[in-house]
Structure 1
Amino acid sequence: MNPLVAPESHDRHSRTALSVNVNKIALLRNTRHLGIPDVVKLSRQALEAGAQGITVHPRPDERHIRAHDVRDLAALVAEWPGAEYNIEGNPFHNLMDFVRELRPHQCTFVPDSSDQFTSDHGWSFPDDLERLKPVVAEANRLGVRVSLFMDPLPEAMAQARSTGADRVELYTEAFASAWGTERQAQVLARYTAAAEAAIAAGLQVNAGHDLNRDNLTGFLRAVPGVLEVSIGHALVADALELGLTETVRDYQRCIQRAYSAPPSRGSGPSR
C-alpha cells in the first residue's frame, strides 16, 4: 500500500502536478482507421513539454481509449523517469483488469455507468462504502494508489477515507460552470472546505473535469493541497490552436502563477 502523507505535510507551496488526459486524442483517431493522431506519440510530446503524468479513462465500449492504448501508454510512462500513469474508470466494470495487469501508479475510481456520456458525479456515502472497500484493498495490495472521484462535500471525506483510499479527486464541473459568475466565490468556497476536510481525514487531494487555462490558477490559489490536476478536454482543444507543446507549457504557467501570487478566494480569471 502506498504510504499516506500526513495532513500537516500538505501546504500551499507543494507544486501541483499536471496529468494530461489523452482520451480526446483517441476519440479523434477512432473516427478513421489510419491510426492518426498517434496517442502514444502525442503523450510522449506532452511529457517532453513538461507534463508530469498521463491519464486515460478506458470505457467498456472503447469509444476513445482502447485496451491496446492502455498497455502502450503504460510502456511509455515506464520509460519516463518521474512520470505517473493514472487509469480512471469504474472498478465494477473493466478498470480492475487493467489495474491487476499493469499496476499503474494510480487508479481513480469513478462511478460511471457503462454508457455514460462523461463523468458527472462522485461516489455516494454511505451507499457506496462497503462495495468500495474490497476493490480499494485489492488495488492497495498491488501497490497502486487509489483516488476516489468525489463531489465537493466536506461531510463525505471521512467516509471516503474509511474505504482505505489514498486520495480523492474533486469533481470540478460545478466550479467551472460558476467561474466568472456571481456564484463563483460561493462555489469555490465549497471546494476549499472539501479539500480541507479531505486533508483533515488523512486523504490527499487531486482535482479534475473542465479545468482550463482561464480558471485553473484561481482554483489552485483557493483550494489547498491539490497534488495533481487531470486535464483533457480543454487542453486538447487548446492544442488545436496553440500546438500541444505550447499548450502544456501554458498550463504549467497557470499552475506556477497559483504559487507565485498571494492566495485569493473567488478571484477572477488570471490570464
Structure 2
Amino acid sequence: MIVAKTREEIELMRESALVVSKTLGMLAGEIKPGVTTLHLDKLAEEFIRAQGAIPGFLGLYDFPNTLCVSPNAQVVHGIPNNSPLKEGDIISVDCGAIKNKFYGDHAYSFPVGEVTEEVKKLLEVTKESLYVGIREFKLGNRVGDVGFAIQQYTESHGYGVVRELVGHGLGRKMHEDPEMPNYGKRGRGKKFIEGMVVAIEPMINMGTKNIKQLRDGWTILTRDGKPSAHFEHDVALVNGKPELLSTFKYVYEALGIESDEEAEFRQS
C-alpha cells in the first residue's frame, strides 16, 4: 500500500534528504586516487551524526557500514574496504540517513581523477535518465511510465538496464511501496497519488543488463565486468508534479560544476 505524506511530513523528509545531500557534497571533495572507501565511510558516519541524524544503512538488514560504495563493475551495495581508489575509476556512493524518524536515500556516481570518454558518457546518460524518469512521476501516471522512460532513454544509447534492483517508496521505512523499476511499459503498474515520496535510482550498465552477486551477500556486479553507474534522488508528488527533496547542489559546489538541471523540479 502506498503511504501518502502530509505537506508537513514532506518537509521533514526534505530535511532527511538534505542530510544525505550534504554528506555526498562533503565526500565529493574527498574522492581521489589513493583514498580508501573505508575512510570515506568513516567520514560519512561522523558527518551524518554531526547533523543530528543517524546513518540509515548502518545495521539495516544487517548491512555493516554507513555507505554503499560500488566502484567500476560493482553496480550497488558494495561494502567499504581498505583498497585505495585508482585514477580512472568510477564509484557509486549511496547513502542513507534518518532524521525526524524519516529516511533520506540518495546516490551519486563520481569519477576518480580523469576517466575515459566512454565512461564519461555512461555517467552523463545515466544521470540524464534519472531526470527523464522524474519527469514522468506526476499525477495520472503509473510506475510503468517512469520505468519505460528510463529504459527507452538508456537503451537508445546501447546500455543495459538492471532488472533485479529497483527504486522504491520512501518514508518512515527505507523501503515502502511502490517498487520503482527502471524498465517497464507505459500505463502499467500502481497509479501515483498526491503526497507520495519515492526514491528513483537508475542503475545502468555499459554492457549487459545481467548481474551477479559476490559471496559477501551484498555486492552486486555486472556479469560482463563492464562499468555501471547509479544516480538517485528522493522525489515527492506535490500539486500533481514531481518535487525534488534531495539535491546534487552540494556535490556540484565541491566539484566546481555549474548546473541548472534541478530547476524544473523546484516548486515555489
Give the TM-score normalised by structure 1.
0.35
Report which of the two has the higher share of helix.
1
Give the TM-score normalised by structure 2.
0.35
Report which of the two has the higher share of strand.
2
